[in-house]
Amino acid sequence: MSILTWLVIIPLLTITGILFVKDARQAKIVSAFGMGIQLIVSAVIVYSYVALRNAGVTDEMVMISSYEWFRSLNIYYTVGVDGISVAMIALTSVVVFAGIFASWEMDDLRKEFFISLILLATGVFGFFISLDLFTMFLFYELAVIPMYILIGIWGSGPKEYAAMKLTLMLMGGSALLMVGLFGIYFNSAPDGGELTFNIIEISKITIPIEAQRWFFPFTFVGFGVLGALFPLHTWSPDGHSSAPTAVSMLHAGVLMKLGGYGAFRVAMFLMPEAANEMAWIFIILTTISVVYGAFGAIVQKDLKYINAYSSVSHCGMVLFAVLMMNRTAMTGAVIQMISHGLMTALFFALIGMIYGRTHTRMINEMGGLMKVIPFLGVAYVIAGLASLGLPGLSGFVAEMNIFFGAFEHPDTFRRVATIIAVSSIVITAVYILRVIAILLLGSIRDHHFDLLDDAKWYEKLSIVSLLAGIIYIGMAPLHLSDIIRESVMPIVDKLL
Amino acid sequence: MSLENFTVMRHELLLTLAFLVILLTEVFTGEEKKERVRILAVIIFAIVTVVGFLPLPEGSIFGDMFRATRTTSLMKNILNIGTLIVFIQSYSWLGRAENRDRIHEYFMLLMTTLIGMNFMISAGHFLMFYIGIELATIPLAALAAYERFRNRSAEAGIKLILSSALSSGILLFGLSMIYGTTGSLYFSEVAAAVRDMPLVILGFIFFFSGMAFKMSLVPFHLWTADVYEGAPVNVASYLSVISKGAAAFIFIIILFTVFPIIIATWEKTIWVIAVLTITIGNLFALRQKNMKRFLAFSSIAQAGFFLLGFIGGNQLGMTTVIYYALVYIFSNLAAFGVVSVIAEKTGRESMDDYDGLYRTNPGLSIAMMLAMFSLAGIPPVAGFFGKFFLFVAAAEKGYYVLVTIAVLNTIIALYYYLLVVKAMFINRNEAPIEPFKSDSMSKLGLAICLAGIIVTGFASSIFEMIRNLSYGI
């Protein structure tokens, strides 16, 4: 069995373990233990991937293993990774690990919470390793549905509304996606022969252009919903602000990346001609996402809403970069996924921790928190600086690549779009610095806040594991981009 | 005709035998021991179900009026499994004092309907088909009125018998036209003589309407919700899965073997009816508060999904219809099983009563949640695979518009299935249903359903097995 399959098996074993433990304390220990192992396995996978590449293996996908499933429909359970998926796996395992520790002090139905959370993670891991569209789709839906329960039970605010809206919109996206997948499947053998769901096989043939024109929008929009493509992003602010901490972390940090990842791995990679033809529509939409999300964040007063809108902006940037279809921008897109994943997870973790202490998320009700909870405060500042693209942190590397790559295009349309999108950096600086000023600096607004405790050990563990990623990518970006760059090539080559 | 020929009727004969055994015990047991019939019936029926799986000689008797193939045998086995689960689920309900003197009747009536369905599926002649349908329907009306001391139950019985009499009339009218144009009622001869001409089409439309009544397709669905609500829960569950499944089976057989020539006509008809059924079933289900009515409308929408497998006339279509029927039996019976247990213990069947159920009865809530997810088509449970393959079957013939409408409808459906999940897991309740222990038979029934829901999806060999026995036009 390939080591990749363990990424699905370990979470399932962990869930089974949680089912059999007696109390909630043991449940969280089992979860932390299981996800710790998951983290180690992911590290081993990254290491062996790099070793394979250094040994001169040039296959598009490595560590492939394949089991026949539904023979008559040619459906296989096929797993394999390239640099992009390896990077996403590493991101996911870090965020899940941090998420477990961020929800160390849950009350109410804790066993169920960890089971749902890890089930969600199972779907995400499965999605990133799948090379078969059917299995990929299965894992995709598996990742979405636990959200309903997670937000509905443990959320806050208008949680029932938010949970239903999020689930229905995302499943609506997956409904469109399903039609797109059928289109791909039934056109996967234009010269006769056996139909297939296998991504590598399909990428070797050319799907007839008429079919591409029909099914590319279905597939791209289907994934785009999860990637917060304007105007289908409205689930994101409501969903993220109502979700409990760990769920916001996982959702904004990882789940939204499924959208970006799917958009180029499936929609654009398999239907490149249609992607080229229709890119302009989606470039307009994603440019709106980027700028609109940033402006949206400026006017919000609730910390979670600010971060949710900022996620719309940053995830829009991923799709924007993907549509630029060159090596630099694509590499930037993947780095942005990783960087935003870590950063936004950190934000949501910190917001959850601050909220747990102050019992409010309204920024104008807080102030001067840096004096009482310096650890959380400093972490918030670092996350903020990464978000606005300060050199030395991960955000800079990502945005640099994206905008540099986007501007490489000679045509005016893309350059104008790039210029508009770049303006979001300035707007981001405005809302980030505004929050930091009101929230952390100045005088303490409420004397109750004098008594607040700083981060506990498990909170520190959660924060540090995310911070380490952000700083590492910022300081040594080549380690990451070397892994990604080679794997971006096959996709870019098909698109040109 | 030798004795061996009768083995092709094994399913029917075994059921008749079981029926007679129950009848005899009715005569020979004393008043106080009548309750034991329940366990006897379950055991006998379990044996019948298992024996049904033994390899069977194919063939036809009565001058080709009755045909048994491995495909029909598979269909009958699937119905047997479902009926067995219904028997197990009815166990505790039959133990009630007011039902005690009529336990035999319940089993005998159910077995009779099943025999009718088996004959219907194996028919090679429209007359045999019609006899089967009547044998399947009339006892069902008696069953719907089983709790005759309740007005609603009696009302359900009357509604069922009247509407099915009407539908049988329409069906017969259509058959008479087909007979008039083709000069025969044998499936094979009709198939050879059918031409694309107005009277045949008209006859076919009448026949279609009659079948649509049985499958409760829109616009012939109006009886469904009232009957399900009035009938005892277990009878409603039988109606919604077994009766509907049997109708779907014979319908697809007749479409594929008797009417392939006029496929262009019936594809259009099915396209329209499928869209109507799925959409209207869903929209009505949205606002239901009574669990039985809710499941009734959801089952109307589900029947519409079956039609997606019909439409292409391809082998994959038949495979997915049979496969989906199996999945649907497990999922819907699990849902009805939970409703039945709760109605049995507390007498409550409104969706509001389910608020906060998870905190008092976690096991039942999990079972219900899995059933809902399976009906909605959410992975990893079997409903996902069933729906996905149905859509593949329709897409194979290029019906992308239909598939798109259907998948968008699954989102509407997801909304109301999630409402049940929301009630159980998220809503708070001042007076939730008290914690209670279900009896072992109810647990067994639910366990079989849940095992089915989980295994049927992942075990691809089941799908492949069905595929090997299916055929296209």
| Distance from C-alpha of A200 to C-alpha of A56, rounded to nearest angstrom | 20
Of A367 and A65, the one with more pLDDT: A65
Put simply, the answer to whether B379 touches A153 (Cβ < 8 Å) is no
pLDDT band at A426 (very low <50, low <70, confident <90, very high): confident
- Cα Rg for chain A, rounded, in angstroms? 21
Q: Which of A160-174, A355-369, B316-330 has the lowest mean pLDDT?
A: A355-369
- On the question of pLDDT at B393 being above 80, the answer is yes
Chain B residues touching A183 at Cβ < 8 A: 395, 400
Spatial neighbors of A416 by CB under 8 A, at least 6 apart, are: none
Put simply, the answer to whether B379 touches A142 (Cβ < 8 Å) is yes
Q: Does A175 touch chain B (CB under 8 A)?
A: yes
| Distance from C-alpha of B72 to C-alpha of B70, rounded to nearest angstrom | 6
Most confident of A54-68, A187-201, A428-442, B238-252: B238-252
Residue B3 pLDDT: 67
Residue B248 pLDDT: 92
Residue B76 pLDDT: 92
Inter-residue contact A81 to A49 (CB < 8 Å): yes
Q: Which two tokens stand for residue B327?
A: 């999945």
User: pLDDT of A358-396, one tens digit each?
Assistant: 888 888 777 777 778 888 888 888 888 888 888 888 888
Mean pLDDT, range B414-440, rounded to an integer = 85
Rounded to the nearest angstrom, the gap between the alpha carbon of residue A62 and the centroid of all alpha carbons in its chain is 23
What residues 37-96 of chain A have any CB closer than 8 A to a CB of chain B?
69-73, 75
Choose among A145, A149, A175: nearest Cβ to B425: A149
Residue A180 pLDDT: 92
Nearest C-alpha in B relative to A139: B379
Residue B218 pLDDT: 83
Mean pLDDT, range A73-99, rounded to an integer = 89
| Distance from C-alpha of B268 to C-alpha of A235, rounded to nearest angstrom | 37
Instruction: Please name the helix (run of DSSP H) or strand (run of DSSP E) that holds residue A343, with its range, or none.
Output: helix A327-358
Choose among B422, B426, B460: nearest Cβ to A69: B460
Q: Which residues on adjacent β-strands are paired with residue A81?
A: A62
- On the question of pLDDT at B1 being above 60, the answer is no
- On the question of pLDDT at B114 being above 90, the answer is yes
Spatial neighbors of A189 by CB under 8 A, at least 6 apart, are: A195, A196, A205
In this structure, the dihedral spanned by the alpha carbons of residues B358, B359, B360 and B361, taken in order and rounded to 10 degrees, is 30
Q: Which two tokens stand for residue A149?
A: 């329960």
Q: Does B388 touch chain A (CB under 8 A)?
A: yes
Residue B86 pLDDT: 92
Place of tokens 């809108």: A309
Residue A242 pLDDT: 85
pLDDT band at B20 (very low <50, low <70, confident <90, very high): very high
Mean pLDDT, range A410-436, rounded to an integer = 87
Q: Which residues on adjacent β-strands are paired with residue B290?
A: B350
Residue A108 phi, psi (nearest 5) = 70, 110
Q: Which of B32-41, B127-136, B279-288 has the lowest mean pLDDT?
A: B32-41
Put simply, the answer to whether B415 touches A185 (Cβ < 8 Å) is no
**A231 preceded by cis ω (within 30°)?**
yes
pLDDT band at A102 (very low <50, low <70, confident <90, very high): confident
Instruction: Please name the helix (run of DSSP H) or strand (run of DSSP E) that holds residue A388, with its range, or none.
Output: none
Of A393 and B113, the one with more pLDDT: B113
- On the question of pLDDT at B70 being above 60, the answer is yes
Mean pLDDT, range B49-66, rounded to an integer = 84
- Cα Rg for chain B, rounded, in angstroms? 21
Angle, nearest 10°, between helix axes A159-186 and A133-144? 170
| Distance from C-alpha of B305 to C-alpha of B278, rounded to nearest angstrom | 7
Residue B81 pLDDT: 93
Cα angle B192, B198, B203 (rounded to 5 degrees) comes to 70
| Distance from C-alpha of B247 to C-alpha of B214, rounded to nearest angstrom | 6
Mean pLDDT, range A38-56, rounded to an integer = 88
Spatial neighbors of A9 by CB under 8 A, at least 6 apart, are: none
Chain A residues touching B426 at Cβ < 8 A: 149, 152-153, 159-160, 163
Mean pLDDT, range B74-100, rounded to an integer = 88
Residue B350 pLDDT: 85
- CA quadruple B71, B72, B74, B78: dihedral sign: positive
Nearest C-alpha in A relative to B414: A168
Put simply, the answer to whether A142 touches B391 (Cβ < 8 Å) is no
pLDDT band at B169 (very low <50, low <70, confident <90, very high): very high
| Distance from C-alpha of B18 to C-alpha of A124, rounded to nearest angstrom | 51
Inter-residue contact B395 to B386 (CB < 8 Å): no
Q: Does A9 touch chain B (CB under 8 A)?
A: no
Nearest C-alpha in A relative to B422: A152
Residue A441's SS3 state is coil
CA nearest B231: which of B372, B110, B50? Answer: B110
User: pLDDT of B331-374, one tens digit each?
Assistant: 999 999 999 888 888 888 888 888 888 888 888 899 999 999 99
Burial of B292 (0-12, 13-18, 19+ CB in 10 A): buried
Residue A105 pLDDT: 76
pLDDT band at B2 (very low <50, low <70, confident <90, very high): low
Instruction: Please name the helix (run of DSSP H) or strand (run of DSSP E) that holds residue A65, with its range, or none.
Output: strand A62-70
Inter-residue contact B383 to B374 (CB < 8 Å): yes
**Amino acid residing at A490:** P
Residue B110 pLDDT: 92
Residue A69's SS3 state is strand
User: pLDDT of A189-225, one tens digit each?
Assistant: 877 778 888 888 888 888 888 888 889 999 999 998 9
Residue B336 phi, psi (nearest 5) = -65, -35
| Distance from C-alpha of B45 to C-alpha of B63, rounded to nearest angstrom | 30
| Distance from C-alpha of A27 to C-alpha of A216, rounded to nearest angstrom | 44
| Distance from C-alpha of A232 to C-alpha of B406, rounded to nearest angstrom | 21
Put simply, the answer to whether B414 touches A69 (Cβ < 8 Å) is no
Residue B242 pLDDT: 92
Place of tokens 């694309």: B196
Residue B95 pLDDT: 82
Maximum CA extent, chain A: 75
Pairing mode, if any, of strands B59-61 and A75-81? unpaired
Q: Which two tokens stand for residue B212?
A: 């649509």
Mean pLDDT, range B182-201, rounded to an integer = 88
Instruction: Please name the helix (run of DSSP H) or strand (run of DSSP E) that holds residue A409, with its range, or none.
Output: none
Put simply, the answer to whether B392 touches A185 (Cβ < 8 Å) is yes
